[in-house]
């Protein structure tokens, strides 16, 4: 089967968007310390770029969620396969995601994190994909809105492929 990669965002455009997001985050937290919580695996490249643009004190942790569904969409049946390690009680938490699609993963995570009583929780995603949103969740920071399609690159994979591409593409089969 032939696959086509159609450019969505170049490396330079991504860089600009990450810088803008980081400026907003720094302004909003106004020197307060932040726990940046990345969702593995997709967010690790975006998170690495974002935190290096932040000028406020940050601590970093990761959580890994497995969601069972087809290769291109989540089923909403989510399991935590690696939990958080930092104590987020009474701390500001910024959840960093590669892409929000149905919103089910973030909805599950926000609910799960409540038991640790953080001071605040906000959501930062690089791509906000609006077509299949099933639950209303707060997307506090979004780098780029995509209405539909399946995107790869910049941490986003298809069957573990394309993750390391420095730009973002629509995958057309
Ligand atoms: P949600 O629970 O919001 O439907 O799904 C979030 C997860 O689904 C993302 O973290 C990502 O792993 C996967 N996903 C959703 N849409 C896309 C897409 O367009 N491209 C890729 N590579 N993954 C996607």
In the residue annotation, 111 being an active-site residue is answered as no
pLDDT at 40: 97
pLDDT at 2: 87
And the tokens for 91?
Answer: 């701390």
Residue identifier of the C-alpha nearest atom 9 of ligand 1? 99
Residue in 61, 101, 157, 159 annotated catalytic: 101
DSSP 104: H
Mean pLDDT, contiguous 10-residue spans, the chain (173 residues): 93 98 96 95 98 97 84 74 97 98 95 97 97 94 96 97 98 93
Give the separation between CA 166 and CA 24, rounded to whole angstroms. Answer: 23
Q: What is the extent of the structural domain holding 43?
A: 4-172
Would the CB of 65 count as within 6 Å of ligand 1?
Answer: no
Mutational pocket test of ligand 1: of 9, 78, 98, the residue with most ligand atoms within 8 Å of the beta carbon: 98
Where residue 137 sits, what CATH number does that domain have? Answer: 3.40.50.2020
pLDDT at 31: 81
Give the separation between CA 95 and CA 102, rounded to whole angstroms. Answer: 16
pLDDT at 74: 62
Q: Three-state DSSP class for 171?
A: strand
Would the CB of 129 count as within 6 Å of ligand 1?
Answer: yes
Would the CB of 155 count as within 6 Å of ligand 1?
Answer: no
Contact 56, 33 (CB under 8 A): yes
Report pTM: 0.95
Domain count, the chain: 1
Residue 96's alpha-carbon distances to 2, 3, 123, in angstroms, are 32, 29, 6
């Amino acid at each position: 089967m032939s696959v086509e990669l159609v450019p969505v965002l170049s490396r330079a455009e991504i860089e600009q968007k990450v810088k803008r997001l980081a400026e907003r985050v720094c302004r909003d937290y106004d020197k307060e310390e932040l726990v940046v919580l990345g969702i593995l695996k997709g967010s690790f490249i975006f998170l690495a770029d974002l935190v290096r643009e932040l000028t406020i004190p940050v601590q970093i942790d990761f959580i890994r969620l497995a969601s069972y569904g087809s290769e291109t969409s989540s089923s909403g049946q989510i399991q935590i396969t690696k939990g958080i390690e930092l104590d987020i009680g009474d701390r500001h938490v910024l959840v960093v995601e590669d892409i929000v699609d149905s919103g089910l993963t973030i909805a599950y995570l926000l609910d799960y994190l409540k038991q640790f009583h953080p001071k605040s929780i906000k959501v930062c995603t690089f791509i906000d994909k609006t077509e299949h949103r099933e639950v209303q969740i707060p997307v506090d920071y979004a780098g780029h809105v995509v209405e539909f399609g399946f995107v790869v690159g910049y941490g986003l994979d298809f069957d573990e492929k394309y993750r390391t591409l420095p730009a973002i593409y629509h995958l057309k089969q």
